[in-house]
Structure 1
């Protein structure tokens, strides 16, 4: 266990130093071309997934058909690693993100260039309305919009309600919604430095077609994501409430 702690600490230091190096190297390219920002972030995601495998024993795995067209992706969020896995898998992921992250060094600059949509979580009604307006403007360019229906990272075994923002975007965009399940929090938790070896899975589930009424959409979204995430966690040896 002590060696795994050492590996985890070294890994964490390395990936943030690597983020800073890549961010600085690609900044001139990213500022003149959105493709530059996309390539830098793809390289970071791919290399960090690779380093997680050989440095701390986390094997990232993608399951299910990966969406490539204009869709809304509603994903279970357990840690930074599920962000990396989703972004690496889809052609051009754009995330609904906390507005505060825009002021984060490196991440903020690249988030803007990728077309991520910042929201103010402290003003719910205004935030949702602004989010829909910003998304409509941003989707002049193709991509896969990723939203976390629970609004934040949620540790395995913790229950947190699903927010209406996903349904509002689903109705406004009139795109199919792809639910995404995961078990990554068992190996790369939302808090702390310890990274545990294992198979961290992100699974793209069956699309929900446009036109499902709001209440039915929200029930289906939560049922499918939570059910599949529980299945993935049981597969990894975690005893869920249903297990």
Structure 2
């Protein structure tokens, strides 16, 4: 019975989030069209709604630890579910994502993504996409801010191992900016798929920046070590221990 009640509450939570995205997106769209500030305000509003609804509706609290960067940099985040998207973005003054190109054509979401400076890439054309991103930033056509990338390329459940892809290292090397790793345990409470949301405290943690100048392989090894070590600690703090 308790599970069924939580599932229903989770369903209401999910529905309200999508309704909020639609309502906020439509209401603020005229402002967003003429002002990037309007687009960012709309996105931040949705993030606040998600964080406000979670505790009282499904018992899911959220916490942001560490020091989010307020300078131009690469933010390499652990990606476990859509919740870390909301949390990481809400913590940054000028966050922008590397997003799948297909999302450009999604109603509301695509247009807002482009307005806040997200950079669309083609799946399966990663080498060309990275070159395009580097060129855009170096020529000044990209909007300044914190470029958020997921070094494993997709959502990975807690305790599951997946390689860190070279694209993050290429960007780090060619952009010449610090890289801020971000750990997370949000997948324990908000899974990659499904409706059910577990009560607890979901955390994202901004870690010590990696300064520019490291060789590509050394950087990627250090990045993985920092993110995975910190994420495992957050998992254990929440009572989860990965199988060996």
Counting matched residue pairs gives: 242
Secondary structure at the aligned position of 2:76 is classed as strand
TM-score, normalised to structure 1, is 0.96
How much has 1:139 moved relative to structure 2? 6.3
Residues 69-84 of structure 1 correspond to what in structure 2 (within 5 A)? 69-84=71-86
RMSD of aligned Cα (Å)? 1.3
Contact 1:45 1:88 in 2 (8 A): yes
| Cα deviation code 1:150-204 (max 9, x no counterpart) | 0111111111111111111111111110000000000000110000001100000
Structure 2 residue 204 is matched with structure 1 residue 212: no
The separation in 1 between residues aligned to 2:7 and 2:143, in whole angstroms, is: 43
Structure 2 unaligned residues grouped into runs of 5+ = none
Q: 1:158 to 1:57 in 2, by over 3 A?
A: same
Q: 1:43 to 1:137 in 2, by over 3 A?
A: farther
The separation in 1 between residues aligned to 2:171 and 2:40, in whole angstroms, is: 24
Secondary structure at the aligned position of 1:97 is classed as strand
Candidates 187, 192, 195, aligned match of 2:194 = 192
What residue number does 1:119 align with?
121
Candidates 222, 225, 228, aligned match of 1:223 = 225
Secondary structure at the aligned position of 1:175 is classed as coil
What residue number does 2:153 align with?
151
How much has 1:131 moved relative to structure 2? 2.5
Residues 155-170 of structure 1 correspond to what in structure 2 (within 5 A)? 155-170=157-172
The separation in 2 between residues aligned to 1:191 and 1:138, in whole angstroms, is: 37
What residue number does 2:130 align with?
128
What residue number does 1:90 align with?
92
> Which consecutive aligned stretches of 4+ in structure 1 deviate over 4 angstroms post-superposition?
137-140
Candidates 23, 28, 31, aligned match of 2:30 = 28
TM-score, normalised to structure 2, is 0.96
